[in-house]
Amino acid sequence: MKLVILDRDGVINFDSAQFIKSPAEWKPIPGSLEAIARLNQAGYRVVVATNQSGVGRGLFDMDTLNTIHERMHKALFAAGGRVDAIFYCPHPADSACDCRKPKPGMFKRIAETFNVNLKGVPAVGDSLRDLQSCAQMGCQPILVRTGKGEKTRAEGNLPEGTLEFADLASVVDWLLERREP
């Protein structure tokens, strides 16, 4: 199975220091939805792994998170794409859960759900914690410079072998050129 794992905020849609708390605040980064559609057309399954501590902090509830994701699904559908699953951690940053990135819990759930070894699976994020959690499971960490990506790059300490791209569309260009015969 060809699989790609994406962070949401800062990779697919614009991020906000005040969190994405409503469907109206969810705005796709130009080219991201089309990039996901291209992955789908090339036979990739696309999965989202996202920290959503705003739920645990009481900034929005699960119904709102589901409505935000529904907006994303509809926008993807309109662009000819889809995500196969969304894994999220609703817990606040001080939680002892295993699912909040940089811990690998979400990636373990993805591996179990899809019955796949994640070694070498491309995982795209804009923050150090995205890259750390995927690297623990053997994924190929990929940093995009959208969202918090420029700041993450400047701070350094990236996992060994991290690849860097301008945005999700550039990642998909590389994946499709590299992996298609």
- By annotation, the residues acting in catalysis are 7, 9
Question: Among candidates 94, 173, 170, 87, which has minimal Cα distance to 130?
Answer: 87
Q: Which residues contact 12 (CB under 8 A, 6 or more apart)?
A: 6, 28, 29, 32, 33, 36, 48, 72, 168
Q: How many angstroms separate the CA atoms of 50 and 125, rounded? A: 10
User: What is the residue whose two structure tokens read 């994303």?
Assistant: 72
* 48: β partners: 6, 86
Question: Among candidates 108, 146, 163, 164, which has minimal Cα distance to 27?
Answer: 146
